Amino acid sequence: TGAGNSARVVLTWGASPSDLDSHLTGPIVGSSDRSWVYWSGRGECDLSPFACLDLDDTNGFGPETITISQVQPGVYRYSVYDYTNRNNPSSTALSTSGAQVKFYVGDALVNTFFVPSGAGNAWAVFEWNGSSLTVFNQLYGISGVPRPSLIDPSGSGRVEEEMRRLLGLQHAKPPR
């Protein structure tokens, strides 16, 4: 699988917690910056970064699907954040949510990830460089303002550090 192919990441979960969020970071052609697709920045499938989120499900179950319409050279990282328990880094709600992530390249199911047990309101799921998949499948906690961390343009940094920095930048969701 090389540049030009498509991929999808599909998140589903149970009734509780009601608001899990898909987060994908990825390369931007011609830039050392990285794209970030999530509920407040749903991306673009027809333009750079060629990745987009279909919807932000805040009532449980999902699915939330992020589509990479044109795979770009570089590393993509996918995480799930328990927005419902964003102020409780030791919550076990994410681990008991029944969350699963299905990763497709083209129409082929490449892998299914099941949320691990334990404490944490964030789940580092995987990174993918267009051909090889690196599985993280680890929970971790984010509280208050995450410790600062720069995104590593080379793609060698850990997904947890990248998510901590990005989630520290996000604003609260408007009431529904």
Segment 66-90 shows an average pLDDT of 93
Mean per-residue pLDDT over the chain, rounded: 85
Segment 40-60 shows an average pLDDT of 94
SS (H, E, C) the chain: CCCCCCEEEEEECCCCCCCEEEEEEEECCCCCCEEEEECCECEECCCCCCEEECCCCCCCCCCEEEEECCCCCCCEEEEEEEHHHCCCCCCCCCCCCCCEEEEEECCEEEEEEECCCCCCCEEEEEEECCCCEEEEEEEECCCCCCCCCCCCCCCCCCHHHHHHHHHHHCCCCCCC
Amino acid 155: pLDDT: 43
The strands making up 100-105's β-sheet, listed across from edge to edge, are 43-44, 51-53, 64-68, 7-12, 100-105, 108-114
Amino acid 33: pLDDT: 83
Q: Is the pLDDT of residue 87 over 80?
A: yes
What is the pLDDT confidence band of residue 107, given thresholds at 50, 70 and 90? Answer: very high
Beta bridge partners of residue 139, listed in sequence order: 123
Amino acid 1: pLDDT: 39
Q: How far apart (Å, rounded) are the C-alpha atoms in residues 62 and 145?
A: 27
Q: Is the pLDDT of residue 79 over 60?
A: yes
